[in-house]
A and B are shown apart, each in its own frame.
Chain A
């Protein structure tokens, strides 16, 4: 079976590297994107099975990106899990139609639990 493809978009390099390492250990195919303005293009070209998305990012923020993704036909079905330290994160994620939310700092098991439950469906 092909490993599932997961894309991560976060402006913090530390989080990107840590999640990449972990998810690869978990057996996923991981693509990282630190520049949020490149994300749409990357999504269209890689068609990942799931997107882990940060909210507070410069230039193009996570909430703007969700709106763009949900209105871009090729990628609008991409499951999105929002990762944020922001207080209003859960609300934003819910309102904009993300598939899940995990608060930073998280337990890695929370991430795998969320990914598994979404990918199962």
Chain B
């Protein structure tokens, strides 16, 4: 009995010890950070028969709401995940597996579950239970997702930027290939890095002959031009662009060319620096055309003057031959003809003036003169020539300017006759002369039709005529051009202020030499 009693005691003791162990294990399970469940594989649909505290915390469900359910309740409606198949197959085969699966808490919110399933087998090798260990890896998943998102965003941006650059580059290169100007890019040692189509066509060369070679070696050293070398050596050290540098050169194959060269130092941060862009404009034809125009003007005015000389002479002979008692009407008619011949001569002289200015042959006889008196004389003679007009003169500077007085008188006559001509409704013309710093400023104001902004921009160009007034006020479009050039040659400026319908003020300045 004692034996028995001791046997029972022993059994009791063992049970008590086991219970103590179990209690300890349960406590351990409940203090685990991972959610742990046990399912009974021998019962229908593998129900959960145990869950620890952490599982309740992770899933948001209470213990009683969990027990008896199949684990899939955590998947809510999200049933199409590939991981489900893995679980199913592992369970069917009684194998362990580890997956990451989207699960949903009781409140419906998503959490990522890192699930480890492990089978428990009895002595016969039959799977009796499965143990599921779950970890909420939502934060890690989110970080991974964010990283992936960020990466794909960056990749997208890079793609976009690359495409933009490619577009920009093809845009630029299409411009470069289209412009009707020769373009060259050189490195700091004057080796050609690229040449556009226009360059190749103009100078009859190929890309192979050009790119990679020293500029001065191109086409049998045809670019070995000392003035060009000098210009280029100026660019890199100073960083100053060279603008409109004229090069006149005879090329072996294409003959003489007059070119306008513009050169810039170009730098593209991080990629290159000290490169030179050269733009070459062929102005040979333009120059030739201008020369022909000047020649034409010069010849035309010469040829016009020849018959005029005869006519003028013949009329003077006629005047001389008229008898003492000739009808006065006959005499005055002859006089009128002579006046018109002089006017025709003046027009031809103006034409010649433009051609002289164009060819740079305008001769100025610079002498000091009293500008006040010159202006007074010009006004006085214009009053005589146009007695209907009301020309008022104000100001007196007492200054001496250096210049060609005859040319300045021509400018004054021009401005005064324009003022009268273009203000048919208003007779008043105001002339003023003032001292402004080291300059004399002379203004001629009329109250006539005025000049529009567009026309003001062009009014000092050769042969420019405001189109709608050509019929009413015929002219050659030379006077203002010549005046402008004359004042420019005197180191002064001529400009206009005007509004349509409100009249115009033409002003010009001349540098003062001394004050009286």
**B316 touching A105, Cβ below 8 Å:** no
B456 within 8 A of A: no
Chain A residues, CB < 8 A from B306:
12, 14-15, 85, 104
Chain B residues, CB < 8 A from A21:
314, 317
Assembly CA distance A25 to B322 (angstroms): 13
Assembly CA distance A5 to B307 (angstroms): 25
Instruction: Answer whether A25 and B313 are a contact pair too, CB < 8 Å, given A104-B306, A105-B305, A105-B308.
Output: no
- Closest chain A residue, CB of each to CB of B320: A25
Partner of B317, one of A56, A87, A104, A108: A108
**B302 touching A86, Cβ below 8 Å:** yes
Chain A residues, CB < 8 A from B314:
18, 21
Chain A residues, CB < 8 A from B462:
none
A107 within 8 A of B: yes
Output the least CB separation between B300 and chain A (Å): 11
Chain A residues, CB < 8 A from B341:
105
Instruction: Answer whether A18 and B356 are a contact pair too, CB < 8 Å, given A85-B301, A105-B345.
Output: no
B46 within 8 A of A: no
**A18 touching B301, Cβ below 8 Å:** no
Number of interface residues of A (CB under 8 A): 18
- Closest chain B residue, CB of each to CB of A10: B306
Chain A residues, CB < 8 A from B313:
15, 18-19, 22, 105-106, 108
**A25 touching B305, Cβ below 8 Å:** no
- Closest chain B residue, CB of each to CB of A111: B313
Output the least CB separation between A111 and chain B (Å): 8
Chain A residues, CB < 8 A from B301:
85
- Closest chain B residue, CB of each to CB of A85: B305
**A56 touching B307, Cβ below 8 Å:** no
**B309 touching A105, Cβ below 8 Å:** yes
Partner of A105, one of B312, B317, B321: B312
**B317 touching A22, Cβ below 8 Å:** yes
Chain B residues, CB < 8 A from A105:
305, 308-309, 312-313, 341, 345
Chain B residues, CB < 8 A from A108:
313, 316-317, 320
Q: Mark A81-119, 1 if CB is under 8 A from B, else 0.
A: 000011100000000000000001111100000000000
Chain A residues, CB < 8 A from B308:
104-105
- Closest chain B residue, CB of each to CB of A18: B313
**A104 touching B316, Cβ below 8 Å:** no
A-side residues, CB < 8 A to B, are 12, 14-15, 17-19, 21-22, 25, 56, 85-87, 104-108
4 residue pairs, one from A and one from B, having the closest CB atoms = A14-B310, A85-B305, A105-B309, A18-B313
Q: List 7 A-B contacts (CB under 8 A).
A: A18-B314, A18-B317, A105-B308, A105-B341, A106-B309, A108-B313, A108-B316
